[in-house]
Structure 1
Amino acid sequence: MKAALLPFAALLVLSACADPEPATKRAPGGVQAGERLDAAEPSPTARPVKIGEGGPRFAACQGRGRVGNLRGGTLVVRDAPFDEAKQIGSLEENAHVFICTRSLDQQWLGVVVASEDGMKPIAVRSSEAVQDGQGDATPAPSAAGVDCGVTTPVRTKRSYAGPCLSGWVENTFVAVVAR
């Protein structure tokens, strides 16, 4: 009798350890698709934009550029220099950027997004717009911008950690402009 109950007991113990079928499907890796990477966190392959590559006697970002040839679209800003990297922003036609570094293959530019004077552009939301008599929205008066910190020299080469958007854009859509 004991010999007959032993396999039944072992089966009962093993069945208690098994997980029930999950109510929601899980992605590979054991987590739900949205849990693996929070939208606010950088992706595991993120590569920060480096400033100060010219040395302590030159501006942190030595080049300036203007976005162009978008053909009606926007230029995607990514957190690493490749097509599959996470999108962290987008740029419109004629947006100004400071070119700080390049990828090894020269196809991607590490940029800091700022206006021509090196200040953080202030976006005007529709709720901040002032309606004129004809129903057109005109921008509200804006306060002084925030300095991005890329027009002055830095002592050593380092990752950009300033207040402005920084990331990687395709070289094809940025034209270098004179200072």
Structure 2
Amino acid sequence: MGTRENAYKKRRFPNQSPCLNGTDDGIWIREDTIMFEAGFIRSRGACAALALLFLCASLAAAKAESATPSVPVTASSDGIMDACNSVGRVTGLDPKGDNFLSVRSGPGGKYTEIARLASGADIFICDERSPWLGVIYPADDATVDCGTDAYSGEAKPYTGPCRSGWIHQKFVQVIAG
């Protein structure tokens, strides 16, 4: 701490640690004292609470701006073909890497990751927005009926009982259909 700063501290703030900023002309300004004297802030706790409030508000606003709405996987059948025309298997993942395939809430990397599929997982391919595939897959029990035969007629968003999402076609091998 320089001598000018020490003298300022002793003269103006003998019992407080300084929070000083130097200016080009050598004048030292205590910013928190200016805020106190102007009546904007009554205590250091209020200052911290106000700063925290602004930080939380700005983070919430940033998250709301970056949140991309989900794009549902649609399924439909004409009565002859199945609602999901193909069955695929997750392949080609790097075993030395993450060794999972991200399932996204929409067809693109900007969408939220909603699940992860392991290598070898079987999926029903129901929708496509190249290079992304809209897929349906069982949550845990691979023997569960995903109910895609109920989707006849006009394309409708898939609502269950299985899970659905979007995966990149690069890591899918079509095994039927």
TM range, smaller chain = 0.5 to 0.7
Shift in Å, 1:154: 1.9
- Greater share of residues in strand: 2
- In structure 2, what residue type is equivalent to 1:23? L
- 33 and 171 in structure 1: CA distance in 2 versus 1, 3 angstrom threshold: same
Larger proportion of helix: 2
Give 2:161's aligned amino acid.
P
Q: Check 1:65–1:151 CA distance in 2 against 1; reply closer, same or farther (3 A cut).
A: farther
**CA RMSD in angstroms, aligned pairs only:** 3.2
> Which one of 166, 169, 172 corresponds to residue 171 of structure 1?
169
Over alpha carbons, which structure has the higher Rg? Answer: 2
Aligned to 1:138: none
Q: Which amino acid aligns with 1:66?
A: R
1:92 paired to 2:143 = no
Q: Which residue of the other structure, out of 135, 157, 177, is the alignment partner of 2:155?
A: 157
Q: Does structure 1 retain, via aligned residues, the 8 Å contact 2:90–2:172?
A: yes
The structure whose RCO (Cα within 8 Å, separation 6+) is larger is 1
1:47 CA drift (Å): 0.1
Within 5 Å, give how 1:63-74 maps onto structure 2. Answer: 63-72=86-95, 73-74=99-100
1:61 equivalent to 2:84? Answer yes
**C-alpha spacing 1:153/1:163, structure 2 compared with 1 (3 Å):** closer
What is the TM-score with the length of structure 1 in the denominator? Answer: 0.60
Matched residue, 2:55: 26
Q: Which runs of 5+ in 1 are unaligned?
A: 1-14, 38-42, 115-119, 124-144
Residue 25 and residue 60 in structure 1: after superposition, are their counterparts in 2 closer, same or farther (change >3 A)? same
Does residue 51 (structure 1) correspond to residue 75 (structure 2)? The answer is yes
SS at the partner of 1:23? helix
Offset at residue 46 of structure 1 (A): 0.8
Contact 2:68 2:112 in 1 (8 A): no
CA drift of 1:121 comes to 3.8
| SS state at 2:152 partner | coil
Paired with 2:58 and 2:144, the residues of 1 have a C-alpha distance of 40
Gaps of 5+ in 2: 1-39
User: Which runs of at least 4 in structure 1 moved beyond 6 Å after TM superposition?
Assistant: none
Does the 8 Å contact 1:70/1:173 carry over to 2?
A: yes
Output the TM-score relative to the length of structure 2.
0.61
C-alpha contact (below 8 Å) 1:66/1:174 kept by paired residues: yes
